Amino acid sequence: MSAESLTVIMNKMLKLHKSLYELTVKKTGIVKKGDTAALDQLLKDEQAHMAAINKLEQERQAVSRSISPDASLQEIAEANPVEKNQLLKIKADLVEVISEIKARNELNQQMIHQSLQFINFSKSLVMPQEKEINYGPPAGKKAKPGQSPGMFNSKA
């Protein structure tokens, strides 16, 4: 295998990551709207992207090992001057896109968390609070005089 095949695989990974970023941007709009059906479909699309990215990552690792078993991408790029600039540019672009995806996912997570808090707050306003469950005589009944409140005889 050569550095050229590594470049091809990494270009595919970059395209998939850019597409995944577009999905995360769409997810922000869907979360704002509260459209659960669209969110469900988008999550399925994200899972498909992640499966493809994982497959390409395995291919990338196999190609990297075939070029040099213990070398990093930087070392592989240095050893291949023809592909060096392209490999390093793809690497930088991938790092940038991945950090953008991470930031957008954190924003989406915060928005979903706030939505859940609002739902729970609204639910608590509409639904009455449940009574506390504790041990003792049934509600409305008093313990009989001379009878210990517990199940066990404390004098034993």
- CATH number, position 106: 1.20.58.300
Predicted local distance difference test score (pLDDT) of residue 155: 61
Residue 16: pLDDT over 90: yes
pLDDT band for position 32 (cuts 50, 70, 90): confident
Q: Does some domain include residue 153?
A: no
**Model pTM score:** 0.73
Q: Does some domain include residue 57?
A: yes
With a CB cutoff of 8 Å and minimum separation 6, the contacts of 147 are none
Query: In terms of residue numbers, what domain contains 47?
Result: 3-126
Provide the number of structural domains found in the chain.
1
Alpha-carbon span 153 to 133, nearest angstrom? 23
SS3 139: coil
Q: Does some domain include residue 33?
A: yes
pLDDT band for position 41 (cuts 50, 70, 90): very high
SS3 133: coil
